[in-house]
Amino acid sequence: MWGSRMALRRLQKIAVAPLSIKEGVPSNVQREMSTLQRVYVTRQIPPEGLKILKESGQVQFELWGSDDVPVPRAELLKKVKGVDGLLCVLTEKIDAELLDSAGPNLKVLSTMSVGFDHLSLDELKKRGIRVGYTPEVLTDAVAELTVALLLTTSRRLIEATHEAKTGGWGTWRTLWLCGHELANSTVGILGLGRIGVAIAERLAPFKVKKFIYTDVAPRPELARAINAEYVSFDELAKQSDFLAVCCALTPETKEICNKELFSKMKNTSIFINTSRGGVVNQEDLYEALAAGQIAGAGLDVTVPEPLPTNHPLFTLKNCVILPHIASASYTTRNAMSALAANNLLLGLRGEPMIKELKL
């Protein structure tokens, strides 16, 4: 597993070496080598990735010059025409329409994300386009944020801060703002991968009694690392005092967290999702929280994103919502951009990518 700091240093060192035109190379080959491949970058990505692209000597690239506003769809469809490579983020839907606009020159897509539900994988495979992505480098940041969100939700820190600021802090009271602690609890993990393991490793010092998990199949090697027990989906719901969702969004996991799941959970349970918003039926979650069917929920991901400020979930004191910031550390985002840039350049050279999604 790559830590983000180690990964960034490693990616800086192995950044694809610049192309050079050597003496003695025939003039026709020189002309061919000096014709740089065209790349479009859909966002103002962190500086380490841009530095790698600029210093490679391999590509000429154009980018959407804003980090605040995604490139408009019409602009994106226009800019991708004829490109050899595309570096995108998860706000861009890469589908048949876009790939048709890009045309046959497009050989490589590199996404600065670990998730790939924004990509039409069937279309990419059909057209023989290679895909790079950025897993592992964000594991530590996501695990840290998940733990922070879990503690914030379970110990009601947002409510407590509000009370302190607005005059609600009066005399000491025996049960005021009481929450739920991790000591002697059962922590459930839905989807045991690198991030799930990293979350459990960070929670273990809190004297958690037991870790349980469910997945499409048992993951004995990963489970051994955290001494976790494989259980059924129903048992995960029934036993978990804290339930952390770490699974990818697939047709099988879409809205898997719904009223059936919430109805089986304890009324003292805390639900945490830092994976993808689409795995949760938000209407069912609202009903479960409003009725006290579960004690609280912490979400870093929603549908849609951003979640409208008038959404019912925002009216609940027992729901903490963050604006999808799990990987938002300077080190991790730079490591992600560096990996995405290296994946793109290696793919354009026809070489193995550092992290390639096998279609």
Provide CB contacts within 8 A for 271, sequence distance 6+: 243, 245, 257, 262, 265, 285, 294, 296, 297, 298
DSSP H helices, the chain, are 4-13, 27-33, 47-56, 73-79, 96-102, 121-126, 139-154, 157-166, 194-203, 220-226, 233-239, 259-264, 282-290, 330-348
CA distance 302 to 354: 30
pLDDT over 70 percentage in the chain: 91
**pLDDT (mean) for 129-135:** 97
Which pLDDT tens digit goes with each residue over 300-312? Answer: 999 999 999 999 9
Residue 32 has pLDDT above 80, yes or no: no
pTM of the model: 0.88
Domains detected in the chain: 37-137+332-357 (3.40.50.720), 157-165+178-317 (3.40.50.720)
Active site residues: 324
Report the candidate in 259, 256, 294, 288 with the shortest Cα–Cα distance to residue 275: 256
pLDDT category of residue 86 using cuts at 50, 70 and 90: very high
Residue 35's pLDDT is what? 81
Coil, strand, or helix at residue 214? strand
At 331, list the tokens: 């080190």
Residue 26 has pLDDT above 70, yes or no: no
Torsion, Cα of 222, 240, 262, 141 (10° steps): -50
Exposed/middle/buried for residue 123 (C-beta within 10 Å: 0-12, 13-18, 19+): middle
Mean pLDDT across the chain, nearest whole number?
A: 93
Contact between 69 and 42 (Cβ < 8 Å): no
Residue 10 has pLDDT above 70, yes or no: no
Higher-scoring residue by pLDDT: 114, 3: 114
Q: Which amino acid is at 87?
A: L
Strand partners, 296: 270
CA distance 359 to 356: 9
**pLDDT (mean) for 272-284:** 98
**pLDDT (mean) for 317-341:** 97
Residue 24's pLDDT is what? 40
At 315, list the tokens: 């009216």
Higher-scoring residue by pLDDT: 42, 12: 42
Which pLDDT tens digit goes with each residue over 103-125? Answer: 999 999 999 999 999 999 999 99
Provide CB contacts within 8 A for 217, sequence distance 6+: none
Q: What is the DSSP letter of 232?
A: -
**pLDDT (mean) for 120-137:** 97
Residue 29's pLDDT is what? 38
CA distance 187 to 189: 7
Residue 189's pLDDT is what? 98
Which pLDDT tens digit goes with each residue over 208-226? Answer: 999 999 999 999 999 999 9
Task: Give 304-339 as a DSSP string.
Answer: SSSPPTT-GGGG-TTEEE--S-TT--HHHHHHHHHH
Residue 101 has pLDDT above 60, yes or no: yes
Compute φ and ψ for 259, nearest 5 degrees: -60, -30
In order of 78, 171, 301, the CA distances from 287 in angstroms are: 43, 33, 18
Residue 207's pLDDT is what? 98
Residue 25 has pLDDT above 50, yes or no: no
Which pLDDT tens digit goes with each residue over 175-193? Answer: 999 999 999 999 999 999 9
**pLDDT (mean) for 286-293:** 98
